[in-house]
Amino acid sequence: MPTIAKGYAATDASKPLSPFTFERRDPNPEDVVIEIKYVGICHTDIHSARNEWKNAVYPMVPGHEIAGVVTAVGSEVRKFKVGDRVGVGCFVDSCVGCASRDLDNEQYMPGLVLTYNAVEADGKTATQGGYSDHIVVKEGYVLSIPDNLPLDAAAPLLCAGVTLYSPLRHWHAGPGKKVAIIGMGGLGHMGVKLGSAMGADITVLSQSLSKKEDGLKLGAKEYYATSDATTFEKLARSFDLVLCTVSAEIDWNAYLNLLKVDGTMVLLGVPEHAIPVHAFSLIPARRSLAGSLIGSIKETQEMLDFCGKHRIVSEIEKIKIQEVNEAFDRVLKSDVRYRFVIDMASLA
Amino acid sequence: MPTIAKGYAATDASKPLSPFTFERRDPNPEDVVIEIKYVGICHTDIHSARNEWKNAVYPMVPGHEIAGVVTAVGSEVRKFKVGDRVGVGCFVDSCVGCASRDLDNEQYMPGLVLTYNAVEADGKTATQGGYSDHIVVKEGYVLSIPDNLPLDAAAPLLCAGVTLYSPLRHWHAGPGKKVAIIGMGGLGHMGVKLGSAMGADITVLSQSLSKKEDGLKLGAKEYYATSDATTFEKLARSFDLVLCTVSAEIDWNAYLNLLKVDGTMVLLGVPEHAIPVHAFSLIPARRSLAGSLIGSIKETQEMLDFCGKHRIVSEIEKIKIQEVNEAFDRVLKSDVRYRFVIDMASLA
């Protein structure tokens, strides 16, 4: 029998999120039922709820930084049992039957089923996210959260964490590598923690120095204000890797010029407009502009295990579900240090 | 004593090239004196002579695809002797004394001295290129041309050849790799020859099918017209590497969409305007847009040796120096198969 789920949904691009009741499927043999304890607020939740990417389907229950506890498992589930501490990230299914299936890159494959604002593999059932009391997810898309990490502060690892972990690993951040993180927000502060734990030399490039103390405390070696034009002169040709966590319109070519020979700048946020790249920003130093999207399930578990080993979680501000609309507005003003996490006990 | 050199120079952005006499330096102990037999016409010669990059200094003798024979060597020269068949490419000196000197990447280092329209390491003497009867070059910037390659058709290897060889090697073109070459011109046709000799699966993307027969004969496996919109549907997510040899304004995001997961598109030409890159062209497949510039001396020699082994030269149309202005106009109309080479015997 399907179960009744309670949550908060967007019903329209311009209306606040409001209480919403819907059905979760009767668990299949390979499904895990999870009581959601905490869910992080990702900027994508706001883009989606407000239809900024023009693909919203309402009602929509956002939330893809889910941390909770297993309450039931299907007959074929082998990796999880009732009581396990688990997480769910940005997707809940992928191209399982596809010939070109690549477990290292499933997030880039067609057939990915996002955790919300998407349609299940059955082609009809809408997926609904973590701003809700429980969720039913195939075993293969459920992650183990290490015992030593608090569930509330671990929730943002499921998206913000892996969004930074994956490019840091893919472009070989580690000892001897100079990495710049543009933006000291929900994503950026995770880049500082993860990159420094990997042994890379991390520099934060933020609009102002207002979060400098935090940045250095979390592991950055240097911290520069991008509002100061001399920053771009001082740091020219300095970095192996620049990770851009902001989606604002910035002076892209000035940032590209911060890369060494063979350096790469990686887009993690999605700016509204096309990025005007001058060929002369790339050619004379064999630089690259790349993009990266979350991580595979395998890599997400690897990231969680790495976080367990290094005791890394997000810096969070915990709120009640009733405060979600105010939190959305505060995210847009960068008024959070550094990630809102909704305590789903407040739903009751 | 300095020697008198005869050549053709641009004296102004709007005037045709005309006969010009100037001095070459008295050879230093490490210098090689080269009688220039052939010189290729590179699009850069036209950009430079016509001051399209706003950095022209006149009078300017263009030419950086130089093939000739050694006529004298300084007392400390070890690698070359009179009579040797040699080449000179895009640069004639680099950051020799620089702490960060990197012989694998010298073309990307500050301190590079271009073969023409530049200033020698002495900070005052203008460099003058290969549209001339002889040149004096430091031993370290002179290349050996394999005996089995004709000097005339080998000349374009010094720029066009290495411009394609370097990115093909850097991004690992070889068996099992699908590589697209945008543009079937002086650069593009070298990409077809070199890439197929490396064992990669080469596809040409050209505006029309007018050179299809040539492309397939030179080693391409497939050949598509980009004027046909279905090309972009058919080839979506197909290539590991796309090398762009054109500097025209093309639909950049449509080409980026031809890349597989982790694919890279490399700019080899310099478009006049910034390239509008949509984040969604990169992020959902971890694609990169990169740039590449010629190659190091070490890599240029490696390319020439590779060409000797595989008997690769450029397809050329030989002209007299008196025809250079007409040839410039024909290059701009893509009316050459595939590279003009000036026979410098015509200068006498």
B279: nearest CB among A105, A108, A271: A271
Using a CB-CB distance cutoff of 8 angstroms, which residues of chain A are in contact with residue B291?
279, 281-287
Determine contact, residues B293/B108, Cβ cutoff 8 Å: yes
Q: What's phi and psi for B204, nearest 5 deg? A: -95, 135
- pLDDT at position A121 is 82
H or E segment to which residue B31 belongs: strand B31-40
Express as a percent the part of chain B with pLDDT over 70.
Answer: 99
Least confident of A308-312, B33-37, B239-243, B271-275: B271-275
pLDDT at B96 over 70: no
A277: nearest CB among B109, B283, B289: B289
Q: What's phi and psi for A109, nearest 5 deg? A: -90, 150
Say yes or no for a CB contact (<8 Å) between B108 and A292: no
Question: What distance in Å separates the CA atoms of residue B135 and residue B6, rounded to the nearest whole number?
Answer: 10
Contact with chain A for residue B229, Cβ under 8 A: no
ipTM higher than threshold 0.90: yes
What is the band of A7 on the pLDDT scale with cuts at 50, 70, 90?
Answer: very high
Per-residue tokens: B276: 């509008």
H or E segment to which residue B301 belongs: helix B297-310
Residue in A52, A261, A268 to test binding to B, most B beta-carbons within 10 Å: A261
- pLDDT at position B331 is 95
Question: What distance in Å separates the CA atoms of residue B20 and residue B131, rounded to the nearest whole number?
Answer: 10
CA-based nearest distance B244→chain A, Å: 11
CA B231 to each of CA A42, B182, B254, B258: distance values in angstroms, whole numbers, following the listed order: 38, 13, 10, 10
User: What is the residue-averaged pLDDT of chain A?
Assistant: 96
Q: What mean pLDDT comes out for the span B147-173?
A: 98
Contact with chain B for residue A279, Cβ under 8 A: yes
**Which distant-in-sequence residues (6+ apart) come within 8 Å of B21 by Cβ?**
B4, B5, B6, B7
Q: What is the DSSP string of A83-127?
A: T-EEEE-SEEE--TT-TT--TTSGGGSTT-EESSSSB-TTSSPBP
Contact with chain A for residue B42, Cβ under 8 A: no
H or E segment to which residue A307 belongs: helix A297-310
Q: How many other CB atoms are there within 10 angstroms of residue B121's CB atom?
A: 15
Q: What mean pLDDT comes out for the span A225-249?
A: 96
> 3-state DSSP call for residue B107?
helix
> 3-state DSSP call for residue B9?
strand
CA A169 to each of CA A322, B78, B222: distance values in angstroms, whole numbers, following the listed order: 37, 46, 35
Per-residue tokens: A277: 């790249």
B275: nearest CB among A108, A267, A277: A277
- Summarised one tens digit per residue, pLDDT across range B66-88 is 999 999 999 999 999 999 999 99
Q: What is the DSSP string of A220-287?
A: -SEEEETTSTHHHHHTTT-EEEEEE---S---HHHHHTTEEEEEEEEE-S--SSPEEE-HHHHGGGT-
Question: What distance in Å separates the CA atoms of residue B265 and residue A38, rounded to the nearest whole number?
Answer: 41
pLDDT at B114 over 90: yes
pLDDT at B99 over 70: no
Determine contact, residues B249/B269, Cβ cutoff 8 Å: no
- pLDDT at position B98 is 72
Question: What distance in Å separates the CA atoms of residue B42 and residue B89, rounded to the nearest whole number?
Answer: 11
Residue in A164, A283, A293 to test binding to B, most B beta-carbons within 10 Å: A283
Using a CB-CB distance cutoff of 8 angstroms, which residues of chain A are in contact with residue B264?
288
Q: B6: closest CA among B329, B319, B322, B341?
A: B322
Q: What's phi and psi for B299, nearest 5 deg? A: -70, -35
pLDDT at A96 over 80: no
Residue in A237, A289, A293, A299 to test binding to B, most B beta-carbons within 10 Å: A289
Question: What distance in Å separates the CA atoms of residue B136 and residue B142, rounded to the nearest whole number?
Answer: 10
- pLDDT at position A123 is 87
Nearest CA in chain A to B105: A261
Say yes or no for a CB contact (<8 Å) between B262 and A291: no
Using a CB-CB distance cutoff of 8 angstroms, which residues of chain B are in contact with residue A102?
261
Question: What distance in Å separates the CA atoms of residue A306 and residue A304, rounded to the nearest whole number?
Answer: 5
Say yes or no for a CB contact (<8 Å) between B286 and A292: yes
Per-residue tokens: A58: 């309402």
Determine contact, residues A148/A21, Cβ cutoff 8 Å: no
Whether the link from the prior residue into A58 is cis, omega within 30° of 0, is: no
Q: Is the dihedral of CA A295, A296, A302, A308 positive or negative?
A: positive
Determine contact, residues A67/A28, Cβ cutoff 8 Å: no
Question: What distance in Å separates the CA atoms of residue B247 and residue B273, rounded to the nearest whole number?
Answer: 9
Q: What's phi and psi for B170, nearest 5 deg? A: -60, -40
Q: What mean pLDDT comes out for the span B128-137?
A: 98
Contact with chain A for residue B53, Cβ under 8 A: no
What is the band of A138 on the pLDDT scale with cuts at 50, 70, 90?
Answer: very high
B279: nearest CB among A102, A170, A270: A270
Determine contact, residues B94/B163, Cβ cutoff 8 Å: no
Contact with chain A for residue B207, Cβ under 8 A: no
Which domains are present in chain A? 3-159+313-347 (3.90.180.10), 160-291 (3.40.50.720)
- pLDDT at position B272 is 83
Say yes or no for a CB contact (<8 Å) between B277 and A279: no
Say yes or no for a CB contact (<8 Å) between A279 and B291: yes
Q: Is the dihedral of CA A212, A213, A218, A223 positive or negative?
A: positive
User: What is the residue-averaged pLDDT of chain B?
Assistant: 96
Question: What distance in Å separates the CA atoms of residue B169 and residue B163, rounded to the nearest whole number?
Answer: 11
Contact with chain B for residue A289, Cβ under 8 A: yes
Contact with chain B for residue A293, Cβ under 8 A: yes
Cβ pairs A/B, distance under 8 A: 104
- Summarised one tens digit per residue, pLDDT across range A183-209 is 999 999 999 999 999 999 999 999 999
Using a CB-CB distance cutoff of 8 angstroms, which residues of chain A are in contact with residue B281?
291
The three-state DSSP-derived secondary structure of A144-206 is: ECCCCCCHHHHHHHHCHHHHHHHHHHHCCCCCCCEEEEECCCCCHHHHHHHHHHCCCEEEEEE
- pLDDT at position A99 is 67
B290: nearest CB among A269, A288, A292: A288
Contact with chain B for residue A144, Cβ under 8 A: no
Q: Are strands B259-267 and B288-291 parallel, antiparallel or unpaired?
A: parallel
The residue behind tokens 């070490």 is B298
**Which distant-in-sequence residues (6+ apart) come within 8 Å of A333 by Cβ?**
none
- Summarised one tens digit per residue, pLDDT across range A17-30 is 999 999 999 999 99
- Would residue B253 be called left, alpha or beta, if left means φ above 0 and alpha means ψ between -120 and 50 degrees? alpha
- Summarised one tens digit per residue, pLDDT across range A212-232 is 999 999 999 999 999 999 999
